[in-house]
Amino acid sequence: MGRSRRRRWVHRGALRLGAEPGCAGRPGRRVVGGRGPQLPLEPPCVTPSHTKETVCSDPALECPELPALEAQDPAADIEGALGECRDRLAGDGVDLDAFHHLANARDVDVVRRALGYDRLNLQGGSYGTQVALLAAERSPETIRSVTLSPPIDPRENWVDGIPAGFARALDRVSAVCADDPACHSAVGDFDAAIAAQPR
């Protein structure tokens, strides 16, 4: 997409939906169309937006019980720690029923109205894929376009696939290392080296 077309696209009102822990980017600046130069824009033309359970939200659904527990014993009762976290958040007055996919999709329209746009161009990445699709399904008349990068199939629970994906990645690294004399000389049996690491 050329620079002038990029400018026309973003000036129509774009909302980037992400899910990574952290804060939204610098207001009014966004890389549009890949890793190219940033386009200086008048805010709020491009508004990075994170779902409301991330760390910059108020309230943020943080569970300090988990890192503390894992530091003591990696095989500890994770489910119990999550229960403690849930009870603490609920005790602090956090309405946990407000944190789900449809609520996040509804928030997209709240943001659209707050910014004064008739329609939005949505860009969804990671979990933002699901939010963008739900928002478009709920209010198609308010969405001009949807870009999914990278797309994630909303019919699948991608979290369940993380361990298998990690195992496949290790297998590939192991095969590459076995075929590379320098790596094999430095590491030896890659699988054995991984297995020897403390859990």
| pLDDT of 84 higher than 60 | yes
Residue 73 CB: number of other CB atoms within 10 A? Answer: 8
- CA dist., res. 117 & res. 109, Å (int): 10
Residues paired with residue 14 on neighbouring β-strands, in sequence order: 46, 121
| pLDDT of 77 higher than 70 | yes
| pLDDT of 144 higher than 80 | yes
Query: What mean pLDDT is reported for the chain?
Result: 74
What's the pLDDT at 19? 55
7: Cα separation from own chain's centroid:
25
What's the pLDDT at 149? 82
The secondary structure element, H or E, covering residue 16 is strand 14-18
- CA dist., res. 145 & res. 136, Å (int): 9
Among the listed residues 4, 3, 2, 16, the one whose alpha carbon sits nearest the alpha carbon of residue 145: 16
pLDDT tier at 57, thresholds 50, 70, 90: low
pLDDT tier at 45, thresholds 50, 70, 90: very low
Of the candidate ranges 2-16, 70-84, 149-163, the one whose mean pLDDT is the lowest: 2-16
- CB of 125 within 8 A of CB of 103? no
Is CATH 3.40.50.1820 what the domain over 3-58+99-156 is classified as, yes or no? yes
What's the pLDDT at 4? 45
What's the pLDDT at 21? 40
Decide: helix, strand or coil at residue 41.
Answer: coil
Among the listed residues 160, 165, 176, 112, the one whose alpha carbon sits nearest the alpha carbon of residue 138: 112
Which pair of structure tokens corresponds to residue 184?
A: 């094999």
| pLDDT of 43 higher than 90 | no
| pLDDT of 13 higher than 50 | yes
Total H helices, total E strands in the chain = 8, 6
Q: What is the dihedral of CA 167, 172, 175, 180, to 10 degrees?
A: -130
Burial of residue 16 (CB within 10 Å: 0-12, 13-18, 19+) is buried
What's the pLDDT at 30? 34
Q: Which residues contact 118 (CB under 8 A, 6 or more apart)?
A: 142
* Mean pLDDT value across residues 121-134: 87
Percent of the chain's residues with pLDDT above 70: 68
- The pLDDT tens digits of the residues spanning 158-188 come to 777 878 888 899 999 999 999 999 999 999 9
User: What pTM was estimated for this model as a whole?
Assistant: 0.58
